[in-house]
Amino acid sequence: MAEFKQAAANASAGEKLMTWVDNRFPATKLWNEHAAQYYAPKNFNFWYFFGSLALLVLVIQIVTGIFLVMNYKPDGTLNAAGIPVAFASVEYIMRDVPWGWLVRYMHSTGASAFFVVVYLHMYRGLIYGSYRTPRELVWIFGCLIFLCLMAEAFMGYLLPWGQMSYWGAQVIINLFSAIPFVGPDLAILIRGDYVVGDATLNRFFALHVIAVPLVLLGLVVAHLIALHEVGSNNPDGIEIKAKKDANGIPLDGIPFHPYYTVHDIMGVAGFLIVFTAVIFFAPEFGGYFLEYNNFIPADPLKTPSHIAPVWYFTPFYSMLRATTDWMVHVFAALIGLSALFSLVKGQGGSGRKIGGIVAAAIGIALLYTFEAKFWGVVIMGAAVVILAFLPWLDHSPVKSIRYRPDWHKIVYGVFVLNFVMLGWLGIEPPSPVYEKMAQVGTLFYLGFFLLMPWWSQLGTFKQVPERVTFHPH
């Protein structure tokens, strides 16, 4: 006891402060569990920058959003000059608020940067099998974060009250009216009126500033807690917890701090160089980050010649536009062929085969019961939701793409090119040729996931090593 009192007396002011805090809040305990004593695989590569970068951009968006809200007015009525108050308040921020232009451009560029790093973060999970056991819940939380980001971005896009904001919201909200029975009432509920107007702007403002960010922050915390509970995946897809030393420390693990905090600082530095270059030299990014039509006040009486969402929505918007009556015929034919194939080659008794035929007949009947517009909405939603089912669609005996057949890498590469093509087609004005390209791209996108239980098992797989492979750099 005397030694303890002597040590306490000799402690520095900082140590005494931390002891006082730790006795009332587990600050040091949390730091050790999630950083200093959280052991991560030692073979992380550059693909593992994007998780921390997503957190950085989230902080940027929250901080810049707070400063924007201080001067923004969610009012769709016209001022004395005949300009919508919401649009005028954005111009006021850009022209008259000190450094307001910088805060606004940080926020608008941050929205696109958010989706860039999240898409890359999700692709890393895809190629290294980070959604496989025991990380299914980590992946599901990530998919829910992605859905929240899409909702947050869509609602925030309306707030500048420019031409593309107004008409983009009009088009997307009208899609909900295609839902049978409840669609028209649901669209009115979302808009708060029969057309996009002041009530819509106020609803979207409240959701964008308060409701969705709270849900988003909760999901981010849940995502990180779930990740640290099961441990991080790595490029080899090997569980480092399987081999530990006498002290219970993974043999292939290193403390997250200081090793990966320094590692991530390098990624942050590279990201900030690109981020600031875009802000200062190309904030509109050729009309992809900030569309030129959005610098024109919203006019309900004048429709833009071409309406398209922001680039990060365009792959899914392209699938929506691709779902025409011809695509409905294609889906019906595919359902019929799959039922015929299962009848000829499938296993099981006659009852199971008859059940498959009945299910296919019901599916085809439903396809022709509702109009193609409704199925376009279903396909667009399914293209996002299907990501959450990846843990149960991938039947590969190995996690990482490093140990899969080489032609699997080609499939993943074509998937990325197809996704980029769909994004580009969603920006371009519709044409017969682009429509066919989008339809082929939609079929490939859906086929990639729906056929994954079959193709993910095919080929000769490489031997997975017992320990992670690491090359110092």
Binding-site residues from annotation: 107, 121, 208, 223, 228
Say if residues 19 and 29 touch (Cβ distance below 8 Å). Answer: no
Instruction: Enumerate the known binding-site residues for heme b.
Output: 107, 121, 208, 223
9 Cβ contact partners less than 8 Å away, ≥ 6 residues apart: none
In angstroms, the CA 246 to CA 107 distance is 49
Give start and end residues of each alpha helix (H) in 282-349: 314-322, 325-345
In angstroms, the CA 64 to CA 100 distance is 10
Q: Say how many C-beta atoms besides its own lie within 10 A of residue 56's C-beta.
A: 20
| Residue in 143, 138, 127 with CA at minimum distance from that of residue 398 | 127
Q: Quote the tokens at residue 4.
A: 């303890």
Instruction: Enumerate the known binding-site residues for a ubiquinone.
Output: 228
In angstroms, the CA 343 to CA 336 distance is 11
In angstroms, the CA 322 to CA 436 distance is 8
239 Cβ contact partners less than 8 Å away, ≥ 6 residues apart: 231
Say if residues 337 and 447 touch (Cβ distance below 8 Å). Answer: no
Provide the Cα torsion 355, 359, 360, 362; round to 10°.
140
Q: To 10 degrees, what angle do helices 325-345 and 372-385 make? A: 60
In angstroms, the CA 160 to CA 178 distance is 27
Q: Quote the tokens at residue 376.
A: 């376009």
Return the HEC string of 172-200: HHHHHHHCCCCHHHHHHHHHCCCCCCHHH
In angstroms, the CA 340 to CA 236 distance is 40
Angle, vertex CA 11, rays to CA 7 and CA 15, nearest 5: 125
